[in-house]
Amino acid sequence: MHKPMPPLRALVAFEASVRHASFKRAADELHITPGAVSQQVQKLEQWLGYPLFVRQIRQLHVTDRGMSYFSRIAPALEQICIASETSRERASDSVCLSLSQTLAAKWLGPRLGDFVSRHPAVEVHINASNNPVDFQREAVDLAIRHFDGRDSALESHLIFNDEVRLFCSPAYRDMFELEHADKLTGVTLIVASLYPFWDDWLTRFTSIGTTARKQITTLHFDQTLLAIDAAKRGQGVVLSNAFLTQEELARGELIEPFEHRLPLDKSYFLVHPKGQPLSQAAMILKHWLLEQLSGSEADGNT
């Protein structure tokens, strides 16, 4: 059952006034005027139904009932202060990063150990989601978003200019003798929901007609992570970028049989809300991400 609450600001003003035995000194502590403190105390007196102070010229005396009330609420207010301060300190040492599941698994995961070893006091929370983060509703400090970079509410840092490339395993290339792009009529096209650009790519870089395209086998995945893995296992050719396939390219599990690059109007950005100061932990993670992502961009464009 809901119980009526006293005016909370009035409780704070009353507690400070009792400790200082002065509306003026209480006002100095609370950064308001003595008149505002007096008004808050009067509100509390009206709510309780009895006086809390005896007001005299230049003197303020708490009544017996006022002191009894103070002795009961002061420990509760102290507990609220301690709990709130502890929570604020914990929040300042933690940071939440939102990014896609593929990016979390293929790029962040292998590198996160470096951050932890360099900043062991920072508590990192990863929100791996393919949905754009809502900073107003979700407790997220930073996000890596794949979009056009135009959002007046966000501070955006470009980290990777995206472009679509074709990848497959070396064995798959040799099996289908992929010397040029028109040979793709006999392969399996792996379609990732993030990069549904096969028609654009084939139109721009091949002479394969519409009828022939409809006869090409396709394999669809809702996660780029799974699409890349399928290509690595020799199940077809996939459209992605060098940012998400760094490890596979470095290990020789994937290759780029053609040098065709399809530019996109979307890129990867590190974002956070404008006008909202970042915590120390968030600033540390932001600087580390920009450092790491800058190196990744260079690797991806070699």
Contacts (Cβ under 8 Å, ≥6 apart) of 300:
160, 241, 242, 243, 246
At residue 227, the 3 state secondary structure works out as helix
Tokens representing residue 247 in the block:
């490890």
**What string of pLDDT tens digits covers the 302 residues of the chain?**
467 888 889 999 999 999 998 999 999 988 999 999 999 999 999 999 999 999 887 788 999 999 999 999 999 888 887 776 655 555 568 899 999 999 999 889 889 999 999 999 999 999 998 888 888 778 899 999 999 999 999 999 998 899 999 999 999 999 999 999 999 999 999 999 989 999 999 999 999 999 999 999 999 998 899 999 999 999 999 999 998 999 999 999 999 999 999 999 999 999 999 988 898 999 999 999 999 877 655 444 43
Contact criterion met (CB below 8 Å) for 237 and 171 = no
Rounded CA gap, 167 and 199, in Å? 16
Residue with tokens 């509390």: 44
State the span(s) of the chain assigned CATH 1.10.10.10: 8-89
Indicate the pairing of strand 59-62 with strand 217-221: unpaired
At 279, which amino acid appears? S
CB 269 within 8 A of CB 158: yes
Among the four given CATH numbers 1.10.10.10, 2.40.160.210, 3.30.70.580, 1.10.150.80, the one describing domain 8-89: 1.10.10.10
CATH number of the structural domain 163-263: 3.40.190.10
Please give the pLDDT value at position 67.
92
Name which of 125, 160, 98, 129 is nearest 223 in CA terms: 129
The class level of CATH for 93-162+266-300 reads alpha beta
Bridge-based pairing state of the strands 237-240 and 188-192: parallel
Which residues in the chain are classed under CATH 3.40.190.10?
93-162+266-300, 163-263
